[in-house]
Amino acid sequence: MTSATEIGKEHRPYGLWPSPITPALLADDRRLEGGLWDSDGRAVVWLEGRSGRGVLRVQCSPDEAPRELAPQWDVRAEVAYGGGDFTVHRGYAYFVVRKTGRLYRQPIAGGQPAPVTPPFGQAAAPTVSPDGHWLVYVHHDDEGADRLAIVDTAGTFWPQILASGRDFYMQPAWSPDGTRLAWVAWDHPYMPWEESVLYLAAVEYPPGGLPRLEPAQAVAGGRQVAVQQPEFSPDGRWLYFLSDETGWSRLARLDLVSGSIAWLTPEGVECGLPAWVQGLRSFAVADGGRQLVVAAGNQGRQTLYRVDLHKGTCSPMEGLESYGEVTHVVASPAESRVLFVGSGPAIRPRLVEVDLCSGRQRVVARGSAESVPEAALARCEPVSWPSSDGDQVYGLFYAPVSERYTSSGKPPLVVLVHGGPTSQARCAWSPQAQFLATRGYAVLLVNYRGSTGYGRQYMLKLRGQWGVYDVEDAVSGVAYLASAGKIDPHRAAIMGASAGGFTVLQALIEYPETFAAGVCLYGVADPIHLATTTHKFEARYLDFLLGPLPEAAEVYRQRSPMLRAQRIRRPLAVFQGGADRIVPREQSDAIVEALRRNHTPHLYHVYEGEGHGWRNPQTIEHFYQTVEQFLRQHVALA
């Protein structure tokens, strides 16, 4: 029986529906990398990613038009995976210029940028002292050492090392009176979401020189506990941070007098994100320290929670239900307002201001024209199913959607596998999911065992099981949707990038009958090569995922797609960045050579100048055009 919503629609096969989400539309999107208020609480500065460049924009007041700051510079920090690109203080923006690694200072009101640091190494996460005289930042030198460094904000001194001795540093934070500094550090073989330590040290001010630190004290984290994002209360009495000590990443408050710790958010919701980048901001101290606002997630959906310190309550904020992902949360230093980057299944990323008293919202910036109506976009449904050994697995399901077209029977499925692999697919704007669902594909985003967002123990399940649990959970997700009558299991494809591309290759090798085709973007094909040549940040990551070398060498060989690529028989599309330093082109070349030898149907595109992900609009448009043609041939019409 035809439903009322399908009457009057034109019948076309699933996967062949014309869609308002065109490749050109997606190529025109801009990334919103977060915003900050200046000290007066009026000017807002934010970072946009456009055509592969980082562009700072400023709006000096709500009734003024935004404009660009330093348009000649590409603003992007490049310590590990980046982040911590800029800060704002007392009328100045401080930012990192890509490739140079240098910090610059520019007046927000106008003027030319001036260098603050010399061209040596890479800088990230700049933070200015309360008096505006000193700038602390994370520094990675040309020999691979990381530390905290300090320089005066005018750039007249040569920078000095402030803290060193640990393998990694992030998130330095000044106390309001400038007498203390907090930061997070960790060492190999751990990643920051496995084990990290929160440090606190007093600041000394020798006459005529740069400030230095007294011996630091570890105040939280360590011993299989991960911490992040320290922030002081306005009176300096409390230090707030995120910790997963209880099994969930929760907002904590350290009493700097008594040393006691109180938990401000409940179990069962996840506040922190895995610290792949510098500059994460999941919460903010607002309203003069009387309340906090924190982004917290459950079942793949994030929202803003308000923590009322006087009442001792923690509850979701009203009026934000349409957002499923909330990041880059900051509070106004002058009024009861917060700023965040939010998106939802049908909402492209926006920079949003919310008044905490009235609830009034203002969109400061948009990542796109938002020209496609919400009714034409797919909804995101959290789903779960049992794994092969009884564990619960989580995911997000998008059913096909169109205002003009319908089909009979069951739709084909595309399984999207997130990268990381320590990461999560959330109910955010997903260009790939909407591109596919509006063409008549069902889409499943798998948060396989080992994903974040479901507590520490779920994240740890991938220890030693990469290439096993992620693959099994993608396969069992297909079976779950088929048994529920939601998809045609004979027309299922799998698609993923980086670590997700590794899962794609493993799935086509281990389960050749489950997927009709695969799409692999710069996928890891040789884990041994990755473990021995990758950048410092991930140099020991595979100790956790597969095991330490050389003891686990046999595991690496057994799970190497490159060594078993001859078993791939299903059509495979491979996409690679020619300048990728994380997963170099040679890994994709080896997979494609095996496909050629075995006469496996495939296509291969190398985008010169692209790295670990697409930034050039021409690349993005070509990628989506090619994927659409590939899936139409090998899945929709198979």
Q: Which long-range contacts (CB under 8 A, 24 or more apart) does 166-172 make?
A: 167/536, 168/192, 168/537, 169/138, 170/84, 170/125, 170/138, 170/228, 170/275, 170/278, 171/125, 171/228, 171/229, 171/230, 171/278, 171/279, 171/280, 172/125, 172/127, 172/136, 172/137, 172/138, 172/148
Q: What are the backbone angles phi and psi of residue 475, rounded to the nearest 5°?
A: -65, -45
How many whole angstroms separate alpha carbon 343 and alpha carbon 381? 15
Instruction: Decide if 571 is inside a domain.
Output: yes
Q: Which of 164-168, 368-372, 479-483, 510-514 has the lowest mean pLDDT?
A: 368-372
Instruction: Decide if 400 is inside a domain.
Output: yes
**Model confidence over 532-563: pLDDT tens digits?**
999 999 999 999 999 999 999 999 999 999 99
Contact 621, 27 (CB under 8 A): yes
Instruction: Decide if 203 is inside a domain.
Output: yes
> Which helix or strand (DSSP H or E) is residue 585 part of?
helix 585-597
Instruction: Decide if 474 is inside a domain.
Output: yes
Question: Which residue among 244, 265, 290 closes a domain?
Answer: 244
How many whole angstroms separate alpha carbon 413 and alpha carbon 521? 18
Average the pLDDT over 118-126 and give the result.
96
Q: Give me the pLDDT at residue 51, please.
A: 81
122: domain CATH number? 2.120.10.30
User: Does the structure show a pLDDT above 80 at 515?
Assistant: yes
The pair of structure tokens assigned to 475 is 């396969």
Q: What is the pTM of this model?
A: 0.95
Tokens 């923590």 correspond to what residue? 307
Instruction: Decide if 432 is inside a domain.
Output: yes
450: domain CATH number? 3.40.50.1820
Instruction: Decide if 317 is inside a domain.
Output: no
Q: Which residues pair with 284 in a beta bridge?
A: 293
Cα 31 → chain centroid: 12
How many whole angstroms separate alpha carbon 75 and alpha carbon 103? 10
Give residue 2's identity as a one-letter amino acid code: T
Give residue 85's domain range.
Answer: 70-244
Question: Which residue among 182, 214, 244 closes a domain?
Answer: 244
pLDDT band at 1 (very low <50, low <70, confident <90, very high): very low
**Model confidence over 597-612: pLDDT tens digits?**
999 999 999 999 999 9
In 3-state terms, the chain is what percent helix, strand and coil (to 5)?
20, 35, 45
Instruction: Decide if 22 is inside a domain.
Output: no
Question: Which residue among 197, 223, 244 closes a domain?
Answer: 244
User: Does the structure show a pLDDT above 80 at 125?
Assistant: yes
3-state secondary structure of 459: helix
**Model confidence over 69-109: pLDDT tens digits?**
988 999 999 999 999 999 999 999 999 999 999 999 999 99
Indicate the number of domains in the chain: 2
**Model confidence over 270-304: pLDDT tens digits?**
999 999 999 999 999 999 999 999 999 989 999 99
Looking only at the bridges linking them, the beta strands covering 405-406 and 381-386 are unpaired
Q: What are the backbone angles phi and psi of residue 441, rounded to the nearest 5°?
A: -95, 140
Instruction: Decide if 417 is inside a domain.
Output: yes
